[in-house]
Amino acid sequence: MVYPQQLYERDLSRDNFESDARQAVAVKKLDELYSHLTRDCRGSNHGYIKRMSSFFLKGQQKWVVKGIYFWGGVGRGKTYLMDCFFDCLPFKEKKRLHFSRFMKLVHTELDNLKNQKNPLEIVAEKLSSQARVLCLDEFHVDDIADAMILKGLLISLFDKGVCLVTTSNIAPDNLYQNGLQRQQFLGAIEQIKRNCDVFNLDGGMDYRFRALQRADLYYFPLNETAEAALEATFVKLSNPNSVVQTMIELQVEKRAVKAMKIAGEIVWFEFCDLCEGPRSQNDYIQIAKEFKSVIISSIPILGANNDNAARRFIHLVDEFYDRNVKLVVSAETSIEKLYSGVRLGTEFQRTVSRLIEMQSEEFLARPHKP
């Protein structure tokens, strides 16, 4: 068995990786959790013997393990650390998802159980049968539909012994801040704090900016040079044997979206067609599954006048990042100046960080995850 600490120390030996005090503490926490989960791994299916709390449910004693909630600013290594932990776990009963993808899965299951009693309980039972460890990246709540079901879902999952390891830019107490009917969401926050070790990773440097070697994937300002660069990139990334289709409509989540060009596993969209219409995270999930490379042209400066489009773009980048989609864009201004508003400032910092990382040779070498 390989511990997270061993993977971390291996990466520290790389030239472009530097030690970080807060990450070192976080790795120790992951090592302890890993030890609890695998202490008796050879003798049982799950190896869950650390008794963090116990209670009686239908006459049987329940053993559960306290998970971890990593939070902090962008680029602090939260996702990297969680993935190290997930990769080390030596059993199959584990699941790793981006939070938005996880919530889509939950809503789909609930839709299929409309005529059933206690549908959340059924969903939790199914999830717990598939994964005793649930790793969720970028835990965030900005949708009232998500907020209203999370308390009951988390209670059921924790009651069934699911161990949650998650990352977020936001402290638990600040989740769904100023959201509609937030009072009903507070129970979800209490569940997280009761069942997870909450750890703030702030305090060090942004590891994503260490020795990044950027490729030419972000072009600004919007002019003929940028357009020509996108054309050249499309040709370069296209399979020579693929048929190039132009100005066609794709069916995404049963709705039409216009694409400028498609050739095999690469597609080219205008920003307005992807982010300024009635699109949702589910659209971006489908696109991220179907295409290895995506070109987006004519991204305007985003701000108060187009916050809805900015939020959709945040979700788009999250999905593409999570699936290792290669993203090439043209924009009105530089990455750092792309968002000029206030409301989404904190969330867009993550988008800026990810857009920069997605230009690195390290990211470009990652295989697509359909």
- CATH number for the domain spanning 350: value is 3.40.50
Residue type for position 138: E
Same-domain pairing of 152 and 235: no
Cβ proximity of 309 and 275 under 8 Å = yes
Same-domain pairing of 170 and 228: no
Same-domain pairing of 53 and 79: yes
First to last CA, the chain: 28
Q: Is residue 236 a part of any domain in this protein?
A: yes
Report which DSSP code applies to 169.
S
pLDDT value at position 14? 78
Q: Is residue 77 a part of any domain in this protein?
A: yes
Q: Is residue 206 a part of any domain in this protein?
A: no
Same-domain pairing of 162 and 190: yes
pLDDT value at position 71? 94
Measured CA to CA in angstroms, residue 138 lies from 64, 72, 84, 152, 331 at distances of 23, 11, 16, 20, 25
Residue-wise pLDDT tens for the chain (370 aa)?
A: 889 999 999 988 877 677 788 999 999 999 999 999 987 554 444 444 333 333 333 334 455 689 999 998 777 889 889 999 999 999 999 999 989 889 989 999 999 998 899 999 999 999 999 999 999 998 999 889 899 999 999 999 999 999 999 999 889 999 998 889 999 999 999 999 999 999 999 876 555 444 344 567 999 999 999 999 999 999 888 876 678 999 999 888 888 899 999 998 899 999 999 999 888 889 999 999 889 899 999 999 999 889 999 999 999 999 999 999 999 999 999 999 999 999 899 899 999 999 999 998 788 877 788 7
pLDDT value at position 51? 36
Nearest residue to 139 via CA among 347, 285, 303, 295: 347
The residue with tokens 């600040």 is 174
Same-domain pairing of 109 and 196: yes
Domain final position from 143, 167, 200: 200
Q: Is residue 106 a part of any domain in this protein?
A: yes
Nearest residue to 69 via CA among 3, 164, 4: 164
Same-domain pairing of 303 and 159: no
Same-domain pairing of 146 and 250: no
How many structural domains compose the chain?
Answer: 2
Q: Is residue 369 a part of any domain in this protein?
A: no
Domain final position from 200, 227, 254: 200
By residue range, what is the domain housing residue 295? 212-364
Q: Say how far apart CA 341 and CA 332 lie, in whole Å.
A: 15
Burial annotation 277-300 (CB, 10 A radius, 16+ → b, else e): eebebbbbbbbbeebbbbbbbbbb
Same-domain pairing of 46 and 157: yes
Same-domain pairing of 45 and 191: yes
Task: Specify the length of the chain in residues.
Answer: 370
Same-domain pairing of 179 and 243: no
Question: 191: domain CATH number?
Answer: 3.40.50.300
Residue 181, both tokens: 């009917």
Give the pTM.
0.64
Q: Is residue 370 a part of any domain in this protein?
A: no
Same-domain pairing of 153 and 133: yes
Cβ proximity of 157 and 127 under 8 Å = yes
Helix 307-322 and helix 281-290, axial crossing angle in degrees, nearest 10 = 30
Nearest residue to 219 via CA among 260, 262, 271: 271
Domain final position from 133, 165, 200: 200
Q: Is residue 64 a part of any domain in this protein?
A: yes
Same-domain pairing of 300 and 324: yes
CA dihedral over 29, 77, 367, 323, signed as positive or negative: positive
Helix (H, G, I), strand (E, B) or coil at 133: strand
The residue with tokens 């020509």 is 228
Q: Is residue 294 a part of any domain in this protein?
A: yes
